[in-house]
Amino acid sequence: MRGRYRILLGAAAGVGKTYRMLEEGRQALDQGVDVVIGYLEPHDRPDTVALAEGLEVVPRRKIEHGGVTLEEMDVEAVVRRVPELALIDELAHTNAPGSQNQKRYEDIEEVLDAGIDVISTVNIQHLESLNDLVFELTGVRVRETVPDRVLDEADEVVLVDLTPDDLRERIQAGKVYPAGRIESALQNFFKADNLSSLRQLALREVAEDVEARRSVVTFDDPLARRAIGDRILVLVEPGPSGQRLLRRAWRSGQRLGADIDALWVHPPGDSLSDRDRTALAALRRLAVTLGVHFLEEEDGDFVAAVKRVAGDRGTTYVFWIAPQERRLELALGRSQLYRLIEALPGIDIRLSADRPRGRQEPQ
């Protein structure tokens, strides 16, 4: 039988994931569970090192690469040891060349397949589907990513949370990075705004995970299903941003177990350019591939059309590209966004930032 998989998710390095993993390992040990450390990244943090003392450590595997000796988790040794619980830090880690698996999360799958329970850790920015968003929020492109299915397939995902101020205090106090890196860390990745955005992402991810697990429960009564299940309405426009929004909504829909409708609203008599007509056809084809219901409404009042369709379809969640509205429209209360919020009480609206055309990113 496959082992149980518990992932400790954090918004950033330093929130205490590894510490929490060791604490849980020690608690299990005290309760008589056979626990080993499969891999630990103590990052030279004295508290972490102290907490690991007394826990059995499976020796690491040494790999020679380019004249350098690298150390990785010895998967075979962990499996041979057959503990009840293995603590394996940093599942997003990329193994040294020559390792059996390219990534540590693949190593962990082998350990789980051997019937061993695993507690592991990961930061939110490593999730593949959030890579783009994390870059947009923080300006930092994360290279080590893991597929979302890793979180989906875990038995439990637990948020290890720390407020941005508390984390910055920990960094300032030298509890996360050595003295020489503190200022640079605080001025760059660990700016309060970045940490706040990452924390929101982590909170949302865990909330969606909880929701997804809850919605696995099946209801025989269609009315009950309608009342409890989510239904997403994606407000699309022909073009690349419409394609991106629909794909993003599909991913959320998968996680929430929600059905998805895509809606294109256009004014009566509006004629499309050849380019838009082609883009619309492509959007329809994408909807078919994704299993999304594509709806088209001819209405001069965009908000009224959305309200009508959302009511008919039992929408609980709306996805939209943030509209670029002029200050005057906002000042006069004619904002489409405000009108939409007012028109859809009780429906969550998720705004997605449109990516500028061919924006160059820092190298």
Partner 1 sequence: MSFFGLRRSPKAGSDRRVLVAFSGRLDPVVLAAALRIARAENAALVPAYLITVPLSQPFDSPLVREVGQALPVLEGIEHEANRAGIEVDARMERGRSLRDGLARLWSEEHFDRIILPANPESRHGFSESDLAWALMNTPTETIVLRPAPAEAA
Task: Kindly state the smallest distance separating residue 125's Cβ from partner 1, in Å.
Answer: 14
**For partner 1, the closer CB: 164 or 238:** 238
Task: Kindly state the smallest distance separating residue 359's Cβ from partner 1, in Å.
Answer: 6
Task: Kindly state the smallest distance separating residue 17's Cβ from partner 1, in Å.
Answer: 24
CA–CA dist 232, 304 (Å, integer): 17
**For partner 1, the closer CB: 327 or 359:** 359
Compute the CA torsion angle 297, 299, 303, 307 (nearest 10 deg): -50
Q: Do residues 297 and 263 lie in contact, with contact meaning Cβ atoms separated by under 8 Å?
A: yes
Burial of 248 (0-12, 13-18, 19+ CB in 10 A): middle
**For partner 1, the closer CB: 62 or 149:** 149
Q: Do residues 318 and 348 lie in contact, with contact meaning Cβ atoms separated by under 8 Å?
A: yes
**For partner 1, the closer CB: 103 or 307:** 103
CA–CA dist 358, 17 (Å, integer): 37
**Cβ contacts of 176 within 8 Å, gap of 6 or more:** 13, 14, 43, 45, 167, 170, 185
**For partner 1, the closer CB: 109 or 117:** 109
Task: Kindly state the smallest distance separating residue 287's Cβ from partner 1, in Å.
Answer: 10
Q: Do residues 315 and 263 lie in contact, with contact meaning Cβ atoms separated by under 8 Å?
A: no
Task: Kindly state the smallest distance separating residue 350's Cβ from partner 1, in Å.
Answer: 17
Which one-letter amino acid corresponds to residue 245? L
Q: Do residues 196 and 168 lie in contact, with contact meaning Cβ atoms separated by under 8 Å?
A: no
**For partner 1, the closer CB: 83 or 238:** 238
CA–CA dist 191, 313 (Å, integer): 42
DSSP conformation class of 164: H
CA 21 remoteness from chain centre: 20
Q: Do residues 74 and 37 lie in contact, with contact meaning Cβ atoms separated by under 8 Å?
A: no
Residue with tokens 């057959």: 82
Task: Kindly state the smallest distance separating residue 49's Cβ from partner 1, in Å.
Answer: 36
Footprint of partner 1 (CB under 8 A):
128-129, 131-132, 135, 141, 147, 149, 239-240, 243-244, 247, 250-251, 254, 275, 278-279, 281-282, 285-286, 288-291, 355, 357-361, 363
Q: Do residues 39 and 71 lie in contact, with contact meaning Cβ atoms separated by under 8 Å?
A: no
CA–CA dist 214, 196 (Å, integer): 27
CA–CA dist 189, 208 (Å, integer): 25
Query: For 41-168, where are the E strands, in sequence order?
Result: 56-57, 61-65, 68-72, 85-88, 117-123, 156-160
Phi/psi of residue 153, each to 5°?
A: -85, -10
Task: Kindly state the smallest distance separating residue 243's Cβ from partner 1, in Å.
Answer: 6
**For partner 1, the closer CB: 174 or 240:** 240
**For partner 1, the closer CB: 105 or 250:** 250
Task: Kindly state the smallest distance separating residue 292's Cβ from partner 1, in Å.
Answer: 8
Task: Kindly state the smallest distance separating residue 281's Cβ from partner 1, in Å.
Answer: 6
